[in-house]
Amino acid sequence: MKDMTVSIFDSIICLVPIAIRNSVFLKEDGTLILMLKTRSVDVHKEPDLVFSEAISRIASGGLKVTVSAWLSPYHHDHAAIICIKS
């Protein structure tokens, strides 16, 4: 296995800070996959805003976002964010 992959499934609270804190366990160039349920993070904010805030926090935490995509039409207001430890 070339690199360690960590998958974190976001449920009731925003796990972005947890993902950043646990990125120390990733090897250099390791992959982190974050599944973001935007309505579970904050029902009062627009999902696009929660999504962009999550990407900003991840990038400021030392991870490089390589892919970010909405999971529509299968999972409304859900997104996947794939990052590489740089």
* DSSP conformation class of 72: T
Instruction: For residue 80, give the H/E element and its range.
Output: strand 78-85
Q: CATH assignment of 5-85, given 3.40.50.2000, 3.30.420.10, 3.40.50.150, 3.30.1360.120?
A: 3.40.50.150
Q: What is the pLDDT along the chain (86 residues), one digit of tens a residue?
A: 445 544 444 443 567 888 888 889 999 999 999 999 888 888 888 999 999 999 999 999 889 999 999 999 999 999 999 999 98
Query: What is the reported pTM?
Result: 0.79
- Tell me, what's the pLDDT at 16? 84
34: closest CA among 42, 59, 43?
59
CA geometry: angle at 70 spanning 54 and 32, to 5°? Answer: 55
- The whole-number pLDDT of residue 14 equals 64
Q: Please state, rounded to an integer, the average pLDDT across all residues of the chain.
A: 84
